[in-house]
Structure 1
Amino acid sequence: MTVDLLITGARVRTFDPAAPWAEAVGVTGDRIGYVGSAADAPTARRTIDATGRLVTPGIIDSHNHLLLGFDEDAVTLEGAHDLGEVRRRIADFAARRPDLDWVCAENAVYSIVEDRRPEAADLDGLTDRPVFVTTYDQHSVWLNRVALRVLGIADGGDIAWGRPERHPVSGEPTGWVTDFYTSAMTQAGLAELQRDIPMYSPERRYRKLVSSMRMATSLGITTVVEPQVPLAELPLFERALDEGVLSSRVIAALFHPVGADAAFRAQLRNAVDSTPARDRLRLGPVKLYADDVIEPHTALMLEDYANRPGQRGRPSYADGELGAVIRELDRLGFQTHTHATGDAGIRLALDAIEGAARANGTRDRRHGIVHVECLHPDDLPRFRALGVTAAMQPRHCSPDLVAGTWMENVGEERWDRAWRFRSLLDSGATVAFSSDWQVGEMDPLVGMYSAATRAGLDGSDAWTDAERVGLDRSLEAYTVHGARAWHAEASLGRIARGMLADLAVWSTDLYGLEHDPAALLDAHAELTVVGGEIAYSAGALAEPAGGEAAADPVAARGGQDDAHVHAH
């Protein structure tokens, strides 16, 4: 036997129960043709010596907003934790870019101003142009007074892409807008954004998609689930496929807005049924919301927020409506991917999924709940019992992201409900790890570090250490569980003969770093193989692999000196 490609000399973590470890992997066509010892490996048309490295199945990122990648015509506020720094960055950017009609910024944290929401007045004096700022989780927007006036909000008008907050006494808009991402991807919301905010033009969205795709492949990610694609933006993915820039596989989850009716669900079904099966692009899951997010007190909680007596957030749907929508989608054959962060929101989603299976008599749909940030103990065993995937993001639990807002809002007495990776895995549930790019860094090594430490990227302020997850279980969540989540376990997630040849070769043996998880942040993917093709190569493997090294993912963000170190 002669294979097309042989990777040898490495430690190979296969996740195949029959042979968990190997030394060499052979690829023929788009499939794995050999797994075993280096001594017994077949001859190959091309051989890569990966001595000292680790080979794993390609990473499956089960929640990655490709369309939200960095915009070179916006300024990032990553790492800006006080108002002075935010103002400096926006002012500097506005001075550098007089050509832009709008000054847009991304990735603001909620705690920029102590003990209150940021307001329009906090942006006074920076520019005479409208300013549009998104928070790091994409669920809120911060506007200056000019933007309030241009958008008509100052005159009492509404917008289709969010809920402007108003002062309880004066009724004047504060400059803060909630419910952004749940509204922005509706047909009306997206149309208004594309009309008014240049950052949401189709061409700029496409540039983000291309940049994010390149970054994903360079990070060892071979399958990306884009979790919220409006029907109107499906052509962007078709264009990317036609232009050959889908270097990793993409599963596009179609967005179901609150209020959409049976006719819209028929449109979803038609879109999926009329789209031919492609190797790199698949449609199918449907994205829903059970609630919003904890930071602005809009996620649905079973008990009052610790710092807002009498306030428990709100559901995205009116009473019983989420259950009816999931029941209908389940009947139509759809798998759902439902955002839920608060403990009551998670329970609402679980109840809806349970009711759908009971009403329709369906089995093994593998509906998913994404984020699962605050999980009541009574609901933990229901994930396995109902066959529900927990699509979770390890980086989200890091104190440098959630201290000052999430922790205080939930209250210390409920911290043991926070991001229960280990408990869910121990229960036998499917836990599919993901990045939530660009809410969190896309790099899966950052996720592995965060799962192992529950600490910030500088190693400080670790918390809730009972839920830590070691390297092997994290890799399993990124591969085996990711494949199972999307009904792809017959072809993805393991290294075994006959499986699709989706592989990641890491710059070192990651298992040798388990005693020092911080060292994971210095490792990287050196080779990414998708369907037997070398999609990315770098470092020492670039020349022997014969592949052209992909663009540096940091440089691809536009060269901003204040961009994410690990692409948060």
Structure 2
Amino acid sequence: MLDTLYTGGKIRTFDPEQPWAEALGVTGDTITYVGPSADAPAARHTVQLEGRLVTPGVADTHNHLLLGFDDLAVSLDQVESLDVVRSRIAEFAETHPELEWICAENALYSVVEGRRPNADDLVGVTDKPVFITTYDQHSVWLNRPALAKLGILNGAEIAWGKPERDSVTGEPTGWITDFYTSAMTISGLAELQRDIPMYSPDRRYRKVTNSLDMAARFGITTVVEPQVPLAELDLFARANDEGKLTSRTIAAIYHPVGADGDFRARITEAIAETPQHERFKLGPVKLYADDVIEPHTAAMLEDYANRPGHRGHTSLEPTEFTKLFIELDRLGYLVHTHAIGDWGTRLTLDSIEAAQRANGTRSRHGIVHVECLAPDDLPRFAELGVVAAMQPRHASPDLVAGTWMENVGEQRWDRAWRYRSLIESGAKVTFSSDWQVGEMDPLVGVYSAMTRARLDGSDGWTQGERLDLDRTLHAYTQAGAFAFHQENKLGMLRAGYLADLVVWSGDLYAMEPAEILQQSADLTVVRGEAIHDSHGEQGGPQAAPHAANASDWSVGESSCGDAAQGIPHQHNS
């Protein structure tokens, strides 16, 4: 007898031997029946689908759980006006007199037209120090009291970024670049925890648990936290101890570009000492090949369109980067590399190819983002067996119109987020949210992949890269399982596979993209257990009523080697 039978709807299995089914049965944590409703065994409990769609659970392969919204910070999500930025910060400072620092999140680079924001833009807002992160977490905006308190006005350097200085006066502007890569280093994180209240362990822990609650609500059964400092692994141990790891969680360990062999030994030690199980594994080692396009710090093969003579920079001198990559591959680590510019992506592909030659390996290394891809490099993903971990929402004009498009230049727009071209070339492409750079809700990503438009349907661009619904869902499910060597038990609905699945609120295949935006996950199941149950259909946790907030609509990375080290490193032929 089955424990639970799902019947009366459409079941997209992504099993090539049986792509669709009428009914699905679960016994314990395993799928034990997929087939016609008439032939289904008896069940202790039945979920009547009433025409709704069931798919494998979503694998969000790039979701910054650690960056979820802070309840003691100002949300600048989607704010396009400097006046609104100023008024929100002023109001928050006035209503929170107990706070020594005023922290804010998700500022747009384009909030000041024609240039980057600076400390002068915040004069008169508050006498307290102000610390603002950009929506992509790669830059920070400070006011003058913050510059003074941190010693930057007096020439002090900081471990969590590079203070920008005026080219004429040499005075700090209030803008900090290279933030996220520096903030996750041992020294960078230590300084942040010492100086900036938003980075205290308790506030970071609340972000993790709030993000996990959201993941369950959005149908996400596997979530990859793509950049965890060794010093914050204990946050996940705490979440596990307190029963907060509802979705499967894979934590990627951040490898600073300048770290040496001693640091890699610490990674191996941490893997050995960290308890791993079905709900938590240590995943990839995360590298950076370059930074981001908006502040002109991603590495481009040709000059930025609006900054002649400037092509950004790679995180390491290219030869050194390739040597590091070869070493990580030799040690058995699966590497996921942040690469945004076409030069950053080419350097990573070159390094993977060099590692294959040097070590005789063919591993499922990943390149994350791939925002700008040179035509000659497109076929290399399939040729080298590289997974492209991409975010369809990033291609929406809501996020890239203005600064991104202007920096890259229209002549290179056809290189932007080429996920359809990659899939059709035979490459594996996984989709993800990059929460909280983009909304966590995968249906927002589905809509974006299908339209390449704003959420209101306007300004669709680079239309040749649009995808149909089926290939989009495949990138959110089966491809994600493949990327982390889970394809033999997750990513499709097949007898013998683990029961990770989503019941959507309607039949997505019968809808236009705009209608899909209005849908939701009714039921999220991990190992047969309902971790989100909006109608109480399976006796799992029902969704608590909540007011719409920035956490819901925010615009706001390699698996450690050997089988004993969590997800196995495999040399695939």
Partner of 1:358: helix, strand, or coil? helix
Q: Does the CA contact (< 8 Å) of 2:530 and 2:541 recur in 1?
A: no
Alignment counterpart, residue 373 of structure 2, candidates 353, 372, 375: 375
Does residue 256 in structure 1 map to residue 244 in structure 2? no
Cα distance in structure 2, aligned partners of 1:187 and 1:392 = 28
Deviation at 1:267, TM superposition (A): 1.1
Give the alignment of 1:7-26 within 5 angstroms: 7-26=6-25
How far the C-alpha of 1:86 sits from its partner, in A, is: 1.1
Q: In the alignment, does 2:548 pair up with 1:550?
A: no
Name the CA distance, whole Å, in 1 between partners of 2:13 and 2:443. 18
Q: Which amino acid aligns with 1:111?
A: S
Q: How does 1:69-84 map to 2 (within 5 A)?
A: 69-84=68-83
1:177 counterpart letter in structure 2: I
Matched letter for residue 565 of structure 1: W
Q: CA deviation at 1:563?
A: 5.6
Measured in 2, the distance between the counterparts of 1:3 and 1:321 equals 56
Give distance in 2, aligned partners of 1:122 and 1:466.
Answer: 40
Matched, 1:520 2:519: no
Q: Report the CA distance between 1:564 and its aligned residue.
A: 5.1
Deviation at 1:548, TM superposition (A): 2.8
Whether the 8 Å CA contact 2:135–2:555 is kept in 1: the answer is no
Mapped to 1, the partners of 2:194 and 2:553 lie a distance apart of 33
Output the CA distance in 2 between the equivalents of 1:91 and 1:17. 57
Contact 1:118-1:176 within 8 A present in 2 as well: yes
TM-score, L = length of structure 1: 0.96
Report what 1:346 is aligned to. Answer: 345
Count of aligned positions? 556
Q: Confirm or deny: 8 A CA contact 2:393 2:448 kept in the other structure.
A: yes
Q: Does 1:431 align with 2:424?
A: no
2:483 to 482, 485, 505: 485
* Matches of 1:551 and 1:157, distance apart in 2: 47
Residues 214 and 551, structure 1, Cα contact 8 Å, conserved in 2: no
The one of 541, 547, 553 aligned to 1:565:
553
CA distance in 1, matches of 2:401, 2:118: 21
- After superposition, give the CA deviation of every residue in 1:360-387 in whole Å (9 maximum; x if it has no partner): 1112x20000000000000000001101
Q: How big is the shift at 1:547?
A: 2.2
Deviations 1:157-209 (A, max 9, x none): 10000000000010000000000000000000000000000000000000000
- 1:320 and 1:511 map into 2 onto residues whose CA distance is 48
RMSD of the TM alignment (CA)? 1.1
Deviation at 1:222, TM superposition (A): 0.1
Gapped regions of structure 2 (runs ≥ 5): 557-573
Shift of the 57–522 alpha-carbon distance from structure 1 to 2, 3 Å rule, reads: same
- Matched residue of 2:491: which SS? coil
How far apart are the structure 1 equivalents of 2:537 and 2:555? 28
Would the aligned equivalents of 1:289 and 1:340 in 2 still touch at CA under 8 Å?
yes
Query: TM-score, normalized by length of structure 2?
Result: 0.96
The aligned counterpart of 1:274 is 273
**Deviation per residue, 1:515-540 (Å, 9 max, x gap):** x20111110000000011111100xx
Indicate conservation of the 8 Å contact 2:5/2:47, yes or no: yes
Which residue of the partner structure matches residue 400 of structure 2? 402
C-alpha distance 220-563 of structure 1, shift in aligned 2 (>3 A):
closer
- Quote the offset at 1:566 in angstroms: 5.9
**Where in structure 1 do 4 or more consecutive aligned residues deviate above 4 Å?**
none
Aligned to 2:317: 318
Helix, strand or coil at the partner of 1:39: helix
Contact 1:76 1:563 in 2 (8 A): no
Contact 2:78–2:555, Cα closer than 8 Å, also in 1: no
Conserved in 1, the CA contact under 8 Å of 2:336 and 2:365?
yes
Structure 2: which amino acid aligns with 1:362? T
Alpha-carbon spacing, 1:93–1:443, altered in 2? closer, same or farther (3 Å)? same
CA offsets, 1:78-116, max 9 Å, x none? 121121111111112112211211111100010011111
SS in 1 for 2:79: coil
Distance in 2 (alpha carbons) for counterparts of 1:499 and 1:270? 32
Is residue 2:526 matched to residue 1:534? Answer: no
After alignment, is 312-321 or 275-284 more displaced?
275-284
Alignment of 1:166-565 (within 5 A): 166-363=165-362, 365-513=363-511, 516-538=512-534, 542-552=535-545, 555=547, 565=553
Contact 2:106 2:555 in 1 (8 A): no
Check whether the contact 1:214–1:550 (CA below 8 A) recurs between aligned residues. no
Which range is displaced more, 276-285 or 201-210? 276-285
Q: For 1:543 and 1:380, locate their aligned partners in 2 and report how far apart those are by CA, in whole Å.
A: 46
Contact 2:59 2:220 in 1 (8 A): yes
Equivalent position amino acid for 1:547 in 2 = G
Structure 1 residues 326-335 or 270-279, which shifts more? 270-279
1:563 and 1:325 mapped to 2: Cα distance? 37
Shift of 1:406: 0.6
Q: Indicate the SS of the match to 1:99.
A: coil
Instruction: Give the letter for the 1:545 counterpart.
Output: Q
